[in-house]
Amino acid sequence: REMVFVTGNKGKFGEAKEILAAKDIELIQNKDGYPELQEDELEPIAAYGAKYCAEKLKHPVMVDDSGLFINALNGFPGPYSAFVEEYLGNQKVLKLMGDESDRAAVFKSVIGYCEPGGEPVTFTGTVEGEIAHEERGSGGFGYDPIFEYNGNTFGELGAEEKNKMSHRKRALDKFFDWLD
Ligand code: ITT
Ligand code: NA
């Protein structure tokens, strides 16, 4: 079985490809992109993106809208995670946190899926962790070096470990339970 994943993010694609290989699904990357709605929640962004791409490509597609929600920053960067990563980066996010003692954060991934002529569906996966005091580890991508889970940052975990319990893995599991 094949699945088209519309994303420009190499890290997301690589992880999803590995996770789905175990389910015997071949993932194909499409980098065409889609308009991202400005919303507080990731679900409508993923739903709109999936619908837009399914109609444009005339093919079933999945998208993944994800974000890091930091408790002490009232959920920021959340839906602005890509923008903040690009324009500020991990060091500035750490600076924003300062010596704040509440380090709680949630990584969230929303898979949007749609078939041409159909309505989009979404599947949400979350993982709870903490914002580290410094960047650690060279694995993964994006916010991985500052997101701690059970004492290790996602940057310190290998892809295999991260893919066992990440927000993306949890969202993809729900999606493929639904597809079957
Ligand atoms: P798309 O083309 O799929 O939209 P994107 O990078 O723009 O790719 P998003 O809009 O979903 O993705 O933004 C999510 C941001 O959070 C982006 O900066 C990602 O690098 C980062 N991110 C998402 N999942 C992550 C993960 O598992 N580990 C670290 N950072 C992650
Ligand atoms: Na994006």
Q: Which atom of ligand 1 is nearest to the CA of 144?
A: 29
pLDDT for position 180? 85
Mean pLDDT, residues 23-42 taken together = 95
For the question of whether the overall pTM of this predicted structure is more than 0.90, the answer is yes
**Domain boundaries, given as residue ranges, for the chain:** 2-179
**Is residue 172's pLDDT more than 90?**
yes
Label residues 81-106 b or e (16+ Cβ within 10 Å = b).
Answer: bbebbeeeebeebbebbeeeeebebb
Average pLDDT, the chain: 97
What tens digit of pLDDT does each residue of 128-144 get? 999 999 999 999 999 99
- For residue 48, what pLDDT band results from cuts at 50, 70 and 90? very high
Which residue, 17, 116, 8, 16, is CA-closest to 61? 116
What tens digit of pLDDT does each residue of 56-109 get? 999 999 999 999 999 999 999 999 999 999 999 999 999 999 999 999 999 999
Probe target for ligand 1 pocket from 4, 36, 61, 66, with the most ligand atoms within 8 Å of CB:
66
Please enumerate in sequence order all residues whose Cβ is within 8 A of that of 90, keeping only pairs 6 or more positions apart, or say none: 135, 143, 145, 146
* CATH for the stretch 2-179: 3.90.950.10
Cβ-contact 68, 107 below 8 angstroms: yes
Task: Give the number of the ligand closest to the Cα of residue 85.
Answer: 1
Binding site membership of 85 for ligand 1 (Cβ less than 6 Å): yes
Known binding positions for Mg(2+): 36, 65
* ipTM value for the complex: 0.98
Which residue, 139, 132, 122, is CA-closest to 100? 132
pLDDT for position 130? 98
Mean pLDDT, residues 100-120 taken together = 98
